[in-house]
Every structure is written in structure tokens, then in C-alpha cells.
Amino acid sequence: SSGKYIQYTGPNSYKSVKPEDEISYTFKISTPGIYNVRWFMRQPDDAEGDKSNDAWVKMEGNVGLFGDHPFKDYTKFVGRSKAIFGMNGKLEAHHEFAKLACNFKEAGEYTIRIAGRSELLQIDKLVFYRNNISEEDAIYRASEITETTSCSDDLVSLK
């Protein structure tokens, strides 16, 4: 976060992932288990309805779960929030929605990949939290981090 956010400024890419619009992040998991994944995202003020609210997401290493079912390829990750960065996010495939979770069977490094899907989506951070923590508690704990609530409009554009 560092008080800034990323914004996808490329064209809408609803049908497929464009490799040039992909970013990745590798992180360490020290305690194995199932983790829920949410993001702090925001739609621009002038985005209508469900515009500028989704990205493609993929977990490397076959750890991604669409609800309780594994998924290996890019899947649409969607949320809605205006004016503030809201912590939310659900996977959507074929008009079915499910939580994004990961089954980290062992401690180690893992990589998440995100690719642009809808232009002008703003992302502040991704949050991974153990499934024994309630979503309300995770939102409360994550929102206590000042960068999230004070994220400036000095952005980093991807594209």
C-alpha cells in the first residue's frame, strides 16, 4: 500500500487475459492452512454500476479455491466500492459466485497473478487471512492499517 494504489488504465479485456497487462506478487506463508482472499478496491467516481470493478486473478501452484473447488486458470475477481477502498471480493465464473480462498498445504513461497480486466479499477492491497478468522474481524484488523484508509490519489498506473 504505502499510501498509494494501482490502477489499470488499459482497455477492457473481458474475454481473455493479455500477458502484457499482468502483474504478480510472491509472498511467504509460514502457517499452512486455508486462507480467504479479499482486496481493498475502489471504482472511480464516474464508473457506472458494475464498471471498473473486476480483474483476472490466478494462484500459482494449484492452491486457488473457487469456494471449495480448486481452480488453476485465470478467473474473474469482482467487488464494488465507491468513494472509499472497500475490502471485498468474490470470484465469478459462468454467473456463479464464490469466495476466493487458497489451500496452502505447506509453509513456503506462493505467487498470485493479477491481470487487467476492466479499465480504471483501483486496488490498494490484497488481504490473505486464515479461515478461522471472521470476515468482520479481518476487515476491522486490515482497516486499522493507516495506508488503507488514507490512500492518496497519487496513483501508480499499470499499462
Q: Read off the pLDDT of residues 127-143 as tens digits, 9 standing for 90 and up.
A: 999 988 888 888 778 87
pLDDT of residue 40: 92
Q: CA-CA distance, 149 to 40, in Å (whole number)?
A: 10
Instruction: Please name which of 26, 45, 34 lies closest in space to residue 113, comparing C-alpha atoms.
Output: 26
- The answer to whether residue 149 scores a pLDDT higher than 50 is no
Q: CA-CA distance, 37 to 79, in Å (whole number)?
A: 12
Q: Which three cell numbers stand for residue 47?
A: 464508473
Q: CA-CA distance, 102 to 117, in Å (whole number)?
A: 21
Q: Which three cell numbers stand for residue 157?
A: 498506473
Q: What is the mean pLDDT of the chain?
A: 88
- The answer to whether residue 35 scores a pLDDT higher than 70 is yes
Q: What is the mean pLDDT of residues 11-33?
A: 95
| DSSP per-residue letters across 110-139 | EEEEEEE-STT-EEEEEEEEETTS-HHHHH
When mean pLDDT is compared across 71-80, 83-92, 117-126, 138-147, the lowest value belongs to 138-147
- Percent share of the chain, pLDDT over 70: 89
pLDDT of residue 49: 74
Q: CA-CA distance, 56 to 110, in Å (whole number)?
A: 17
pLDDT band at 144 (very low <50, low <70, confident <90, very high): confident
